[in-house]
Chain A
Amino acid sequence: MSSAQNHNSDRGILAVRNLRILFPTRDGRDTVKAIDGMDFEVRSGETFGIIGESGSGKTTLGRALVSLLPPTHGQILHDGTDPVTLGTGAFRKHRRDYQIIFQDPNAALNPRMTIIDSVVEPLEIMGQGDHASRRRRGIEVLERVGLAAEAADRYPHQLSGGQKQRVNIARVLTLRPKVIVCDEVVAALDVSIRGDVLNLFADLQREFGLTYVFITHDISVVSHISDRIAVTYLGKLMELGPAEDVVEHPLHPYTRALLSAEPVPLPSHLRVDRRIILEGEIPSPVEPPSGCRFRTRCPSVQPRCAKEVPAWRDVKPGHRVACHFATANGPPPDNQKAQRAS
């Protein structure tokens, strides 16, 4: 036990150390490098946003953070403890503090169980209280997430998508977790109710002092709710910094392109044409490009990018980036623009 605990330098409630998660391909001859070397901490009480395209490893990362997937290499420390080293009983007790909410509110609920049965199931598994007290607790939590007590005895198909997602939130809250990983939790909801659910997340955080890891491909959502944002690409982090800095003054060429690709609903006279169209799509994680992973699509690529893996370095205090040429002033210039200028 003592070897797994690291009391000195871990300020983070989650500390990811040189994490790699590999899966064998179906024919067993190759490996998919879903996470290929990540290092970061999530601080207690913050909302940590993770953005990236599909195939960037963000969902794998989310599952690994709550011990649903074991790391192939490296460690994920929960408040200084490596859950891999815990015995079965201790691990079960431990993991109630680290919960996850999934994208599809329908798939996450058993259609044959009533809402209240789904909500109290975690308490049953933990063996807490008797039947009546669990039900009381379940109804309390349902009310807290804005569902009337009448909903308790309904089945999932009788609720709307937004209500079902509230049930999923209620279910993880019964255990009073410290950390909740939210994997695309509003992606399946209509725009008009998305706001309600995001507001609820913010309220619950203030009330219970929760730490969120918010995984999404929606930049406007992540920039709205996060304190810090990490940008993933093909199993690696490209950039990590305070939300405002990352969104307003990105340092990595990938972040810049990702932000510029987001369609903005503004009238044409207020829109600035700053769009950088990236060529092609994210390469295969079976054989990622040598050197910098983003070089095959990078508008600022240089010969050095193919040879050397860029260091994960602090460019500004609290703002890290993996690019040879990024400076505190921003990403390197676009090759085409630089050529035109000279």
Chain B
Amino acid sequence: MTGAIDISAPTATRVAGMPDAGVSPQPPLLEVRDLSLSFTTARGALPITRNVNFTIAPGERVGLVGESGCGKTVTGLSLLRLLPPQSARIQGDILFNGTNLATLSPRRMRAVRGREIAMIFQEPMSALDPVFTVGDQISEAYRIHFPVSRLEGRERAIAALREVGIPAPERRCDEYPHQLSGGMRQRVMIAMALICKPKLLVADEPTTALDVTVQAQITDLLRSLSERTGTALIFITHDLGVVAETCTRMITMYAGEVVEDAPVDDVLTRPRHPYTSGLLRSLPGLSRRRGVLASIPGRVPSPSAMPAGCCFRSRCTHAVAGCEQSQPMIEIESGRTARCWRAPELVLPGAVN
């Protein structure tokens, strides 16, 4: 008995004394372990993502960034097992509150979708059904998980619409998607996603189809809802500005792999992977006006011809002998990892220099 106390006491002080030490006081909400995804094609399995690892703490807001084709969207979809099971093969573990979603039966997975983890998509018009009112669609999302009457479902839908800042929700509730503007539709999607109070929201490019003034409204809404309700957020985007303003951590993906994982402010100031640095330096807003813009030469290798070792080395200005070795994620400092063996020695420009 005394032994047990001896063990727990120093652990408790260590956690309390070093809140930033990377030792999370709570177990992670989501832990993705060695997630690999491949699509079956006529020419055999085509690997899309390889050994993706990350964790999300309760209430944390994480940006998942990368260019088109880097695997960020399929990673989001595979968390909810929304990929076609005939052609998509998922390997690895998706531990959500200790349950492995990768092996859950379809029936039990349906109980998780929308209830525990919800998702919003880039194009709200194609995600909404044009022949049902938005109120019906929002209340359906609730009534699938909770046995309430139609009337209560409707009341909850109205409350959810009010929550996401839609004026006159009693009236909007009976409108069809085509009667709403793009920003309103995205608010409806958010209302639908949050009505069951999920613990995790996966937002896949939720503002890409919107104008910049409306984008600002939606990112502010997502951030404040997450802060208020404690919903964790995975924000999939290619826009590093949106990540900087919405998230606390940023995970960079390249060619199907996570290449960097770090707190947002740290990675913007001093990125540790040459790809992240290249992305930051390509942003026109951060370089001298009318000067020559930085860019990353070359293009992403095709998934069918992925080179061994570092996938980025053909485009990397820091590539040397040794980069053709396979690259593990290495810890650079507590809470910061990068998939580059030269990361500890390289000093890479970020958003500020």
Task: List chain A positions with a Cβ less than 8 A from chain B.
Answer: 53-54, 160, 162, 190-196, 198-199, 202, 217, 219-221, 223-225, 243-244, 257-258, 260-271, 275, 277-278, 281-282
Within the complex, the shortest CB–CB distance from B328 to chain A, in Å, comes to 24
Decide yes or no: A264 and B269 within 8 Å by CB, A199-B293, A277-B220 being known contacts. Answer: no
Per-position contact with A for B32-70: 1 when CB-CB < 8 Å, else 0?
Answer: 000000000000000000000000000000000001100
- Interface class of chain A by DSSP: helix
Decide yes or no: A191 and B238 within 8 Å by CB, A196-B295, A265-B286, A266-B268 being known contacts. Answer: yes
Determine which of A53, A202, A269 lies in contact with B212 in the assembled complex, contact meaning CB atoms within 8 Å: A53
Determine which of B181, B220, B292 lies in contact with A199 in the assembled complex, contact meaning CB atoms within 8 Å: B292
Within the complex, the shortest CB–CB distance from B315 to chain A, in Å, comes to 8
Interface residues on B, range: 35 or more
- A267 with B238: CB separation less than 8 A: no
* Additional pairs, 6, CB under 8 Å, beyond known A190-B68, A263-B241: A202-B292, A224-B284, A243-B289, A266-B351, A277-B213, A277-B217
Contacts of A244 on B, CB cut-off 8 Å?
289
Determine which of A224, A257, A267, A281 lies in contact with B287 in the assembled complex, contact meaning CB atoms within 8 Å: A224
- In the complex, B278 has a CB within 8 A of chain A: yes
Contacts of A282 on B, CB cut-off 8 Å?
211
- A217 with B212: CB separation less than 8 A: yes
Give the docked Cα–Cα distance between A219 and B212 (Å): 9
- B290 with A193: CB separation less than 8 A: no
Binding stretch for chain A, among B74-82, B131-139, B153-161, B242-250 = B242-250
Contacts of B352 on A, CB cut-off 8 Å?
266-267, 270
Contacts of B220 on A, CB cut-off 8 Å?
277
Contacts of B245 on A, CB cut-off 8 Å?
263-264, 271
Contacts of A196 on B, CB cut-off 8 Å?
293, 295, 297
- B219 with A263: CB separation less than 8 A: yes
Instruction: Identify the interface centre among B183, B212, B294: most chain A CB within 10 Å of its CB.
Output: B212
Contacts of A195 on B, CB cut-off 8 Å?
282, 284, 293-295
Within the complex, the shortest CB–CB distance from A93 to chain B, in Å, comes to 34
Nearest A residue (CB) for B240: A265
Per-position contact with A for B331-353: 1 when CB-CB < 8 Å, else 0?
Answer: 00000000000000000000110
Contacts of B268 on A, CB cut-off 8 Å?
265-267
Give the docked Cα–Cα distance between A209 and B245 (Å): 40
- A194 with B181: CB separation less than 8 A: no
Instruction: Identify the interface centre among A221, A223, A263, A270: most chain B CB within 10 Å of its CB.
Output: A263
Decide yes or no: A191 and B241 within 8 Å by CB, A217-B212, A261-B213, A267-B265 being known contacts. Answer: no
Nearest B residue (CB) for A275: B216
Task: List chain B positions with a Cβ less than 8 A from chain A.
Answer: 67-68, 181-184, 211-217, 219-220, 238-245, 264-266, 268-269, 278-280, 282-287, 289-290, 292-297, 299, 351-352
- B293 with A191: CB separation less than 8 A: no
- B284 with A220: CB separation less than 8 A: yes
Nearest B residue (CB) for A259: B212
Instruction: Identify the interface centre among A53, A194, A281: most chain B CB within 10 Å of its CB.
Output: A281
Decide yes or no: A265 and B280 within 8 Å by CB, A190-B67, A281-B183 being known contacts. Answer: yes
Contacts of A243 on B, CB cut-off 8 Å?
289
Determine which of A263, A265, A270, A281 lies in contact with B211 in the assembled complex, contact meaning CB atoms within 8 Å: A281
Chain A to chain B contacts (Cβ below 8 Å), 13 pairs: A53-B214, A192-B67, A199-B292, A199-B295, A217-B211, A219-B212, A219-B285, A221-B284, A244-B289, A261-B215, A263-B216, A263-B239, A267-B269
Within the complex, the shortest CB–CB distance from A127 to chain B, in Å, comes to 37
Give the docked Cα–Cα distance between A130 and B240 (Å): 49
- B299 with A223: CB separation less than 8 A: no
Nearest A residue (CB) for B350: A267
Contacts of B264 on A, CB cut-off 8 Å?
267-268
- B211 with A192: CB separation less than 8 A: no
Within the complex, the shortest CB–CB distance from A166 to chain B, in Å, comes to 13
- B285 with A223: CB separation less than 8 A: yes
- A281 with B241: CB separation less than 8 A: no
- A265 with B293: CB separation less than 8 A: no
- B211 with A264: CB separation less than 8 A: no
Determine which of A194, A221, A258 lies in contact with B213 in the assembled complex, contact meaning CB atoms within 8 Å: A258
